[in-house]
């Protein structure tokens, strides 16, 4: 009987389920968006119960499309929006409040206090991360101090919390397994990426009790089985978990040090595999765990860009100059360039390499001749400029010049974007036949754990190229464009006064 692996890809704007065969080809797919909540400026929340219902629905739909009964599923892999935190009652599995999303900036004052207290170097040394509201730890501290339902559950010993993967695993297993993997744990500001344990000193600083956190396990291992009462009436091993960006790195078969991928999603995330070396960045990148497999942990350098694809949503929902995201590429292609217009999409501050929560969005260079097409082009080009910000630092700090850039994510369908990216970065940009490499990576991890594939060499053979984009722009033009971009970024920073 041929293998059938179901990946559950729980992202920032929606949940996708894809059923894969042992060739790494999709058999069925389903997706649902979920609501975004913005209770205050800079705050972003999700409803965990809505996400759980959507997860069940898309799993069932993907199986139906793939003409596969639930009992035929070989294994399940989970991948997720990473730093988003869920709080739930251990006895019921029900969420106690909305999830606090990775984009949420509510803990910027707390991060500032910790920096002023001289704590940043300690966190950086132990976790590889910077003190920024992006990460989970300060969100957990905030909830423990500000949300009565969370406080009450903690007092009664019934509080469980974790990233979305651990919440879904808990629900899938009927409350029997509260666990996460190394890659997700490494995004919390609470996990020591060298000792591979929740760090007692950091937990004390943030006031987070360890007993509310999940157990940390490898990324490819059998965590447990689904509860038939919770999941489609069947018992299926859940055997792969990784944060979405690490899963995409794995799905892109970036198994060797120096290989780089970029995911153009709601935000964009560049990861470079650095193998067994946890390289410390001095210029704004993160040191993170890529995955843990077969008793060994591998690391990555990461540049986290907060807003890329979300700027297309802004064109659609905010400015209403397009009706659907798919219109962006054709509209941007109506003009030869942006007409000197630059968009710095610092809608929720700037991530790597700036880490400026007080930066704000800037649209500059507008003239009387600026059109809808120029704005769309500026949005597309901003994705490439922000990517180059990170690539330049990776080149310098890793000491491994990348030979190519593998890409994925929804915006990866735009040839215009990928050609401009190749021109600006001076690198070959490769698009795989399967753009949903995040889901594929989760399937690969799940399949490895149950023996569908014997090793990563076989997985590397499953990676297939759709198209390659080679640099065509001369160095002088590339330099001028990028210098103007840096000027625009500088003007966007410090727009909101600290304090």
Question: What are the residues facing 273 on neighbouring strands?
Answer: 300
Helix axes 108-116, 136-146, angle to 10 degrees: 110
**CA dihedral sign, ordered 405, 332, 487, 316:** negative
d(Cα 352, Cα 488) in Å, to the nearest integer? 16
The reply to whether the predicted model has a pTM over 0.75 is yes
d(Cα 118, Cα 387) in Å, to the nearest integer? 30
What's residue 43's pLDDT?
A: 93
d(Cα 153, Cα 143) in Å, to the nearest integer? 12
Residue 57, domain extent = 5-244
Q: For residues 183 and 199, is the Cβ–Cβ distance under 8 A?
A: no
Residue 272 in tokens: 């470079």
What's residue 208's pLDDT?
A: 97
Q: For residues 134 and 305, is the Cβ–Cβ distance under 8 A?
A: no
SS (H, E, C) the chain: CCCCEEEEEECCCEEEEEEECCCCCEEEEEEEECCCECCCCCCCEECHHHHHHHHHHHHHHHHHHCCCCHHHCCEEEEEECCCCEEEEECCCCCECCCEECCCCCCCHHHHHHHHHCCCHHHHHHHHCCCCCCCCHHHHHHHHHHHCHHHHHHHHCCCEEEEEHHHHHHHHHCCCCCCEEEHHHHCCCCCEECCCCEECHHHHHHHCCCHHHCCEEECCEEEEEECCCCCCCCCCCEEEEEEEHHHHHHHHCCCCCCCCEEEEECCCEEEEEEEECCCCCCCCCCEEEEEEEECCEEEEEEEEEECCCHHHHHHHHHHCCCCCCHHHHHHHHCCCCCCCCCEEECCECEECCCCCECCCCCEEECCCCCCCHHHHHHHHHHHHHHHHHHHHHHHHHHHCCCCCEEEEECHHHHCHHHHHHHHHHHCCEEEEECCCCHHHHHHHHHHHHHHCCCCCHHHHHHHCCEEEEECCCCCHHHHHHHHHHHHHHHHHHCCCCCCC
d(Cα 93, Cα 87) in Å, to the nearest integer? 9
Best CA proximity match to 205, nearest among 190, 186, 194, 184: 190
**CA dihedral sign, ordered 77, 174, 171, 17:** positive
Cβ-count burial 445-469 (b if 16+ within 10 Å, e if not) = bbbbbbebbeebeebeebbeeeeeb
Q: Which CATH number does the domain housing residue 12 bear?
A: 3.30.420.40
Q: Give every CB contact of residue 463 below 8 A, 6+ residues apart in sequence.
A: 24, 252, 253, 432
Q: Give every CB contact of residue 106 below 8 A, 6+ residues apart in sequence.
A: 40, 42, 43, 100, 133, 139, 142
Q: Is residue 102 part of a domain?
A: yes
Mean pLDDT by 10 residues, the chain (499 residues): 92 94 95 94 94 98 96 97 96 96 92 95 94 94 97 96 98 97 97 96 97 97 97 97 96 94 89 93 90 93 90 93 93 95 93 87 96 96 96 89 89 95 96 92 97 94 94 95 96 71
Q: Is residue 88 part of a domain?
A: yes
Best CA proximity match to 436, nearest among 242, 304, 251, 168: 251
Q: Is residue 323 part of a domain?
A: no
Instruction: Report the domain count for the chain.
Output: 1
Neighbours of 168 (CB within 10 A): 24
Q: Is residue 103 part of a domain?
A: yes
Q: Is residue 162 part of a domain?
A: yes
Q: Is residue 330 part of a domain?
A: no
């Amino acid at each position: 009987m041929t293998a059938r692996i179901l990946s559950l890809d729980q992202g920032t704007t929606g949940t996708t389920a894809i059923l894969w065969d042992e060739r790494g080809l999709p058999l069925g797919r389903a997706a649902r968006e979920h609501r975004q909540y913005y209770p205050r400026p800079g705050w972003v929340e999700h409803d965990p119960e809505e996400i759980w219902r959507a997860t069940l629905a898309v799993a069932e739909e993907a199986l139906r499309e793939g003409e596969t009964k639930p009992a035929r599923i070989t294994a399940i892999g989970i991948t997720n929006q990473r730093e988003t935190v869920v709080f739930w009652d251990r006895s019921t599995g029900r969420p106690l409040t909305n999830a606090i999303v990775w984009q949420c900036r509510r803990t910027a004052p707390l991060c500032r206090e910790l920096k002023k207290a001289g704590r940043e170097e300690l966190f950086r040394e132990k976790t590889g991360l910077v003190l920024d509201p992006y990460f989970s730890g300060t969100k957990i501290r905030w909830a423990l101090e500000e949300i009565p339902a969370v406080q009450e559950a903690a007092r009664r010993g019934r509080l469980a919390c974790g990233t979305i993967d651990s919440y879904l695993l808990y629900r899938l297993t009927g409350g029997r397994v509260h666990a996460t993997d190394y890659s997700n744990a490494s995004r919390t500001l609470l996990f020591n990426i060298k000792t591979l344990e929740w760090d007692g000193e950091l937990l004390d600083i943030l006031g987070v009790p360890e007993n509310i956190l999940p157990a940390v396990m490898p990324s490819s291992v059998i965590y447990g089985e689904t509860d038939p009462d919770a999941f489609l009436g069947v018992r299926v091993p859940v055997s792969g978990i990784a944060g979405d960006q690490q899963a995409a790195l794995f799905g892109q078969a970036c198994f060797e040090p120096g290989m780089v991928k970029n995911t153009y999603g709601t935000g964009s995330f560049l990861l470079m595999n650095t193998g067994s070396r946890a390289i410390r960045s001095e210029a704004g990148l993160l040191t993170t765990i890529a995955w843990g497999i077969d008793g060994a942990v591998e690391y990555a350098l990461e540049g986290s860009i907060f807003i890329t694809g979300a700027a297309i949503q802004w064109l659609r929902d905010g400015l209403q100059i397009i009706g659907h995201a798919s219109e962006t590429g054709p509209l941007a292609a109506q003009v030869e360039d942006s007409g000197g217009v630059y968009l710095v999409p610092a809608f929720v501050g700037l991530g790597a390499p700036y880490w400026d929560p007080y930066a704000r969005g800037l649209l500059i260079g507008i003239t009387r001749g600026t059109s809808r097409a120029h704005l769309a082009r500026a949005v597309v080009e901003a994705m490439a400029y922000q990517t180059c910000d990170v690539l330049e630092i990776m080149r310098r700090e890793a000491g491994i010049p990348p030979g190519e850039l593998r890409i994925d994510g929804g915006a990866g369908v735009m040839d215009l974007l990928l050609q401009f990216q190749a021109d600006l970065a001076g690198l070959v940009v490769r698009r795989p036949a399967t753009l949903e490499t995040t889901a594929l990576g989760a399937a690969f991890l799940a399949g490895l754990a149950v023996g569908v594939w014997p090793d990563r060499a076989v997985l590397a053979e499953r990676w297939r190229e759709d198209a390659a984009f080679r640099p065509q722009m001369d160095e002088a033009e590339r330099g001028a464009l990028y210098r103007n971009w840096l000027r625009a970024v500088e003007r966007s920073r410090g727009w909101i006064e600290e304090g």
